Every structure is written in C-alpha cells, then in structure tokens.
Amino acid sequence: MAGSSKTQTLQVIDTEYSADAAEWCPVDGWNTVLACGTYQLKKPDSDHGAEKSDDPHMRLGRLYLYNYNPHQLFSPVLELQRNETAAILDMKWCHIPLSGCPVLGIANAKGLLELYKLQGSKESSQVEPVYSMEVGDDCLALSLDWSTGKRESNSTVKIICSDSKGRLSLLQVEESSPSLDMLCQWDAHGYEAWIAAFNYWNSKMVYSGGDDCLLRGWDIRCSPDYPIFTSKRHSMGVCSIQSHPLRENVLATGSYDEHVLIWDLRQMRQPLSDTHVQGGVWRLKWHPTESALLLAACMHSGFHILDTVSDGCPIISSYVLHNSLAYGADWSTLSPLYNSSTSPEPSSLYTKEAGTTSSDGASTHIDQPLENLKISYESPTSCFDIDLEDEHGENSRETDHVTKDVDNKTLAESLAKYGPANTSLVATCSFYDHVLHVWRWQRT
C-alpha cells in the first residue's frame, strides 16, 4: 500500500479503573458516541491488615459514555455518563438500531450478558439497562458478538457469547423489548473460551477461540456437539476473532502467541498470511470502509494497523503511546471529512491528568512524558507478574519493528505524489495505566 501515514493524539482520558474495551457506536446518526468499559480487581478488606488467602477478589467495573465533537478545538471528547457495574470483559454495539435505538451488549464478570439502550441526543445521550441474562453459574462472560455485522435487518438478530468454562451460548434477541432467549449452549473448549464471533456473511456459522489453543467453527443450524473444523495453527490461547464485513470468506484471528492470522474460510488448512506483532493479540477490528486495513490491540507492543492485502500482511503504522497492556480498540465509522477537524495539532504525548485552562475557559493539556511501569498482570482467571523494565531500568519491549510516523514535510511530499489524505478516527484503551486515547490516523 503506497503512501505515508501519521498518528495524531486528540485526547487522553483517565478512566480510573483499568480500561479494557472501547467501542464506537456504528449506528448512523450516533457515530460520535463512544463507550469504554473497565475491569478492576479489588483485594478484599481484611482484619488487622492481613489478607485471608481464601477471600475472593472483587471484580468491579464502570461503563463510560462519551461524545466526540470534531469542531471542539481542545478536549473534543466529552463524558456523558458513567455507570458502576460488574467488571466488563467485552462489549459490542448492535450494528443496527433495535426498536429505533442503538443497543449495547456487555459481557461481565458475574456471568451476565446485559443489554443497554441508548437514548436522548448525541450531545446528551444516556444508556439505560433494559435486559440481562445469566449465561451460567460461577463463570465469567468473556466475549460477545452480534449477527448484524453486515448491518442487515431482514433476519433475526442473534448474539453469541463465550464464557470462562469454555462454553458458547447462542441467544436470540427480541427486538421490540429488547430481550433475550437462550437458544442453545454447548461445551466448545477445554479451558476458557476467550472469544466467539459470527460469520457476518452467513450468520448460521460462528467461530470460537479458547485457552486450549484451538480455533473452531460451528454450524448452529444443527446440534453444535461437534465443530465443523478445528485448527491448531495458533500455539497459545486464541483470544481474538473477527469476520470481515466487506470481504466474504475472510477471517482474522489473534492469539497470545503474538501472531495475527488471515484466513480464507474456504480452505482452513493454512492461513493466507501470518504476521508476528510482538505482543498477545487481544482484539482485532476491520476498518469499516477500507477493506485492506486491520487494527490490532497487541498487549505489550501497543496498537498496530496491518495491510492485509499486501504480501506478508505488514504493519504499516503503530500507535505506542499507551504505557500498559493494549486491550481495547475500535475504528469510528465517521466519514473522513467529518472527523478531520481544523483543530491545531496536539502534542504526540500527554499525561492522563495534567491540564490547565486557557483564557477562553477551554481545557488543554500539559505535555509530559509517561514513565515505564512494573505491573502485575491479572487475567480474568489468574494472576502472574510481568516486568516491563530490565535490570537497568530500561523498557524491555521490542519496538524496533514499529513504523515511524512521518513529519509534516514528508506528508506534504506524499500529498503531492499520492493525492489527498484519508483520515480515520480511532479509540484505544490500556489496562494498568487506566487510560483511553482518542487519536486520528492519516494516510496519504
């Protein structure tokens, strides 16, 4: 893919709790609305400062709702609402309105699948819970996907949900309420089923990935006791899957093994491409209009944009300004003309809380570098330590592969050579530094 690219940070927001999910509303007319989900592990209170080993940790969550205003010169992202919830593992907007309203689905640490309805205007919208269903006792709901990826409204809306006991649950959505009916549930993986996803071109097919390192496909027209295929191509837990909404038979998968694989569903023996991204791939998102582009949240190595139609599926741009595990990521469906505001260039790096106020009362930011962290990584089912600094205090992450942003002069030269820039709006969030970044990616 010829040309150059650059990233521009628009705003950095402190989410207080650890952030692990960011989702732009895809429904027309609501594209400026952004939801962010959090997952906070809280140690139990104990007597005399001594923690009892058998005391369970509390998993707390918070759902944030924001509105993006491209014409706001400073701080274009405004918080609209925050709701205290159980810890959020995953959330997705339905691609089409239900009963005239956008609906957000949430998978949480209490084993619940929850539906929230968005109401009001874009500038003052709020979500309210309308329905919840338990997918199983003593489990965590880990992921969900809607069957509406191609934005078609002529078929029954369904949700596929995965949980920490390795099961998949297929639910039908009653649009008028909306409410949920459990159609079937089955054991899909030997360990945690990290991810489940629909085939957006054929909603009778679903895919799942688990901590048993398996990628599986299922035909939900018949009893899903046996998968229609099982791939062992990933060497560690499979934690991200997304069907391509613009290209039929194309599937992207990612794993803790730090590889992004692109598949042709007509032959699943070998992937079309295999890209090593230097970090566990927690989420994958296809671009809403540019069919070649894939956004990957790669835990220790930040966020990468891949060109899936070029040889080798190379990384063509990276956003590495987060200082912790890269978890949540999403493209906005706003048109390039709308999200390319005339606001001045912000600095490329902000702290999450430092700020001041200008003479006209607008909030701005003080440039300040973020420091490296030593963290204890907590997955939904276990804890272990990860040191992001070496013995000399240097950051140990490999970043030599990162595509460097080009300066304004290079962009001007590229503009003359390749034509006008294509601009996309992106939201990403990271875990232990509990921050949400909204940024712009521009390609000439």
- At 357-392, the pLDDT tens digits run 333 333 333 333 333 333 333 455 444 333 333 334
Q: Phi, psi (5° rounding) for residue 314?
A: -75, 155
Are 261 and 252 in contact by the 8 Å Cβ rule? The answer is yes
The widest CA-to-CA distance across the chain, in whole angstroms, is: 69
Of the candidates 138, 187, 144, the residue with the CA atom closest to the CA atom of residue 166: 187
Question: Which tokens in the block code for residue 375?
Answer: 């963290």
Location of structure tokens 């001041």: 356
For 236, the 3-state DSSP assignment is coil
Question: Which tokens in the block code for residue 9?
Answer: 């940070």
Beta strand spans in 191-335 (E): 195-198, 205-209, 215-219, 229-231, 238-243, 250-255, 259-264, 273-276, 283-286, 293-297, 303-307, 315-319, 326-331
Q: How far is CA 58 from the centre of its chain?
A: 23
Whole-number Å distance between alpha carbons of 415 and 4: 9
Q: What is the DSSP letter of 266?
A: T
- Checking 226-230 for CB contacts under 8 A at 24+ apart, the result is 227/188, 229/268
Question: Which residues make beta-bridge pairs with 215?
Answer: 209, 231
Question: Which tokens in the block code for residue 80?
Answer: 């609209």
* pLDDT at position 154: 73
Whole-number Å distance between alpha carbons of 324 and 282: 13
For 92, the 3-state DSSP assignment is strand
* pLDDT at position 403: 36
Location of structure tokens 């934690």: 239
Question: Which tokens in the block code for residue 242?
Answer: 């997304």
Tallying the residues shown for the chain, one arrives at 444
Q: Is 52 exposed, middle or buried (0-12, 13-18, 19+ CB in 10 A)?
A: exposed
Q: Phi, psi (5° rounding) for residue 106?
A: -130, 135
Predicted confidence (pLDDT) per residue in 311-329, tens digit: 999 999 999 999 999 999 9
Question: Which residues make beta-bridge pairs with 435?
Answer: 14, 430
Whole-number Å distance between alpha carbons of 162 and 140: 9
**Strand order from edge to edge, sheet including 103-108:** 88-93, 103-108, 112-119, 126-134
Q: Which CATH class name applies to 5-44+56-443?
A: mainly beta
* pLDDT at position 340: 55
* pLDDT at position 225: 83
Location of structure tokens 């005239």: 100
Residues of the chain with pLDDT under 50: 341-378, 381-407, 411, 414-415, 417-419
Please tell me the pTM assigned to this model: 0.83
